[in-house]
Chain A
């Protein structure tokens, strides 16, 4: 009888340890990503169910990525839903929304991970394949979001591997003086979207949400 009791309590302990491990992981997974805009899952683009609506504002202000608001009135680009993409790519740099480049650009980037802008970012093959697929399916080619459409139509068949080299991006950033970014040690490069775009992670690049480190709000 006593033996049985010990066995039972050991079992209980083991269960608790197991559960704690899972809970710990769940919390760890969420770290830093919780920006209040929920609604991700699998490969789908969840632009519509985030309970996040700044569409009208965008129309009025004519957002950083243009304000025509032709099709969708929420974020400028669909938020990142890919769990593996966010984990593998977003652990080193801003998880650029797939809708910021056409699929041919993503394919080029993912085929050259051995020299990924000067870094080696090689992935195990199965992860490389899965992330490439995610990026293609959610690329600007298949997105109705404003920024995606504008970037796509600005390309004219070119396949840039840098978002900062797309003509639309260049046009939108050309009036920012270099002292505010290139020569600003807190920014350094336009590649770090979220250093200035405070809602970048939510796919919103509205110029009214821009806050340049060391300079404050951007007002043109």
Chain B
């Protein structure tokens, strides 16, 4: 019996590292531990639709440049045309289940779009907004 419990726990744990439903909650508390205050989906949305000018190219960039206006449909890489799967977890449930993946893309996309890394506060705001989609 004990063995079975251990085995079952092992498999559940393994399943969770692959697609962890609590990824957003964990990240939010991590950001708070680093000094972020209460998060706001409204702020997240405002930053999401805002446009930013790239100093190097003069190009106007926004999250919607690639993810497009409707988060429930596919996006497209602005240069290569590579398909980006929908961001909205309501239609694409694997979204926001992998903390390493989320952090990797925050780093890349904040730097590309805003020209700098996002703060913990901003990342939390974004997550709260996106999670509701």
Question: A70-78, A113-121, A199-207, A212-220: which one contacts chain B?
Answer: A113-121
Inter-chain CA distance A202–B50, complex, in Å, is: 43
Q: Are A120 and B108 in contact (CB under 8 A)?
A: yes
A11 touches which one: B8, B10, B109 (CB < 8 A)?
A: B8
Inter-chain CA distance A91–B76, complex, in Å, is: 13
Nearest Cβ in chain A — how far from B44, in angstroms? 20
Inter-chain CA distance A2–B130, complex, in Å, is: 45
Q: Which residues in B have their C-beta under 8 angstroms from that of A24?
A: 18-19
Nearest Cβ in chain A — how far from B105, in angstroms? 10
Interface string of B1-42 (1 = CB under 8 A from A): 000110111111011101100000000000000000000000
- Sorting the interface of chain B by its residue count into under 10, 10 to 19, 20 to 34 or 35 or more gives 20 to 34
Known: A18-B11, A21-B19, A22-B18. A93 touches B108 (CB 8 A): no
Known: A93-B82, A118-B79. A18 touches B104 (CB 8 A): no
Q: Which residues in B have their C-beta under 8 angstroms from that of A114?
A: 111
Q: Using CB atoms, name the residue of chain A closest to B112.
A: A120
Q: Are B104 and A120 in contact (CB under 8 A)?
A: no
Asked whether any CB of chain A lies closer than 8 Å to the CB of B69, the reply is no
Asked whether any CB of chain B lies closer than 8 Å to the CB of A15, the reply is yes
Known: A18-B14, A119-B112, A120-B109. A11 touches B4 (CB 8 A): yes
Q: Are B11 and A22 in contact (CB under 8 A)?
A: yes
Q: Which residues in A have their C-beta under 8 angstroms from that of B16?
A: 21
In the complex, chain B residues 44-98 whose Cβ is within 8 Å of any chain A Cβ: 77, 79-82
Q: Are A22 and B111 in contact (CB under 8 A)?
A: no
Q: Are A124 and B11 in contact (CB under 8 A)?
A: no
Known: A118-B79, A120-B111. A25 touches B12 (CB 8 A): no
Asked whether any CB of chain B lies closer than 8 Å to the CB of A6, the reply is no
Asked whether any CB of chain B lies closer than 8 Å to the CB of A122, the reply is yes
Nearest Cβ in chain B — how far from A30, in angstroms? 14
Q: Which residues in B have their C-beta under 8 angstroms from that of A192?
A: 80
Inter-chain CA distance A192–B100, complex, in Å, is: 28
Asked whether any CB of chain B lies closer than 8 Å to the CB of A123, the reply is yes
Q: Which residues in A have their C-beta under 8 angstroms from that of B80?
A: 92-93, 192
Inter-chain CA distance A189–B99, complex, in Å, is: 34
Q: Which residues in B have their C-beta under 8 angstroms from that of A119?
A: 79, 108, 112
Q: Which residues in B have their C-beta under 8 angstroms from that of A11?
A: 4-5, 8
Q: Which residues in A have their C-beta under 8 angstroms from that of B104?
A: 122-124
Asked whether any CB of chain B lies closer than 8 Å to the CB of A14, the reply is yes
Q: Are A92 and B82 in contact (CB under 8 A)?
A: yes
Q: Are B111 and A17 in contact (CB under 8 A)?
A: no
Nearest Cβ in chain B — how far from A156, in angstroms? 30
Inter-chain CA distance A14–B6, complex, in Å, is: 11
Can you offer 15 A-B residue contacts whose CB atoms are under 8 A?
A14-B11, A15-B8, A17-B11, A19-B11, A24-B18, A24-B19, A92-B77, A114-B111, A118-B79, A119-B79, A120-B107, A120-B111, A121-B108, A122-B108, A124-B104
- Interface set of A (CB-CB < 8 Å, partner B): 11, 14-15, 17-22, 24-25, 92-93, 114, 118-124, 188, 192
